[in-house]
Amino acid sequence: MSQLLEATFWSATVAGGLRLATPLIYASIGETFAQRAGVLNLGLEGYMIIGALTSLYVADPTVAPLGFLVGGLAGMALAALMVLLSIRLFANQVVVGFGLTILGIGTTGYIFHVTTDVGGRDRQVSLPSEIDIPLLSDIPWLGDAVFGHSWYTWLSLALVLLAGFVASRTIFGLEVKAVGEDPDAAAAKGVDVLRIRTQATLISGFLGGLGGAALMLGSVGRFQPYLTANRGFIALIVIIMASWSIWGAAVGAFVFGFFEALGFNLNNVFVDVPIEGLNAIPFFVALVILTVSARWARMPRGLGENYVPTV
Partner 1 sequence: MTSEPGADPATGTPLSVRGVSRRFGSVQALANVEFTLEAGEIHALVGENGAGKSTLAKIVAGSIRSDSGSMSLFGQPYRPTSRREGAAAGVAHVRQQLSLVRGLTVAQNLQLGRPGAPAIFNAASARAEVERWSDEFSLSVPAETLVDDMPLAVRQQAEILIAVAWGARLLILDEPSSALGPLETRALIALCHRLRSEGTPILYISHRLPELAELADRLTVLRSGRVIVEGADVRAADLREVATLMIGDVSLLEVNRPEIERGTSRLTVNDLSVSSTQEIGCHGLNFEVAGGEILGVVGIAGNGQDSLAKALTGQAKLASGHVVVDGEDISGSARQAIAAGVAHLHEDRSTGLAAAFSVADNATARHVRSGRFTRFGVRLADKIARHAGELVERFQVRPPDPAARASSLSGGNQQKLMAARELEKNPTVLVAHGPTKGLDPEAAKAMRDRCFAAAQAGGAVVVISADLDEVSDLAHRVVVLYRGRVTDAFPIEDMTSERLGAAMAGLTETMGATSG
Question: Measured in whole angstroms, how far is the alpha carbon of residue 267 from the centre of its chain?
Answer: 25
Please identify, among the stretches 104-112, 147-155, 188-196, 224-232, the one whose residues bind partner 1 according to the rule CB under 8 A.
188-196
B/e letters for 25-51, b = 16+ CB within 10 Å, e = fewer, are: bbbbbbbbbbbbbbbbbbbbbbbbbbb
CA-based Rg of the chain, rounded to a whole angstrom? 20
Give, in degrees to the nearest 5, the angle at Cα 211 between 205 and 216. 125
d(CA 288, CA 242): 13
Q: Annotate each residue in 137-176 with x if it binds partner 1 (CB under 8 A) or - if it does not, as one string.
A: -------------------------------xxxxxxxx-
Taking CB under 8 A as the criterion, the residue among 182, 202, 208, 266 binding partner 1 is 182
By the rule CB under 8 A, 56 interacts with partner 1: no
User: Of 184, 222, 229, 284, which lies in the binding site for partner 1, with binding defined by CB under 8 A?
Assistant: 184
Which of 19, 149, 177, 231 touches partner 1 (CB under 8 A)? 177
- The reply on whether position 185 binds partner 1 by CB under 8 A is yes
Chosen residue from 191, 202, 240, 249 binding partner 1 by CB under 8 A: 191
- Of the candidate spans 55-63, 178-186, 225-233, 252-260, the one that interacts with partner 1 by CB under 8 A turns out to be 178-186
Say how far residue 170 (Cα) sits from the centre of its chain: 23
How many residues belong to the site for partner 1 (CB under 8 A)?
A: 26
192-231 positions binding partner 1, by CB under 8 A: 192
Q: Using the rule CB under 8 A, is 45 a contact of partner 1?
A: no
Distances (CA, A) of 251 to 136, 158, 164, 238, 305: 22, 14, 12, 9, 28
Largest CA distance in the chain: 70
| Residue among 108 and 199 whose Cβ is closer to partner 1 | 199
Our CB check for partner 1 shows the closer of 38 and 212 to be 38
State the Cα–Cα distance between residues 300 and 234, nearest whole angstrom: 19
Q: What are phi and psi of 131, to 5 degrees?
A: -90, 120
Which of residues 100, 300, 306, 307 is near partner 1 by CB under 8 A? Answer: 300
Q: What does the alpha-carbon distance between residue 135 and residue 288 come to, in Å, rounded to a whole number?
A: 38
- The contact set with partner 1 (CB under 8 A) reads 168-175, 177-178, 180-182, 184-192, 300-301, 310-311
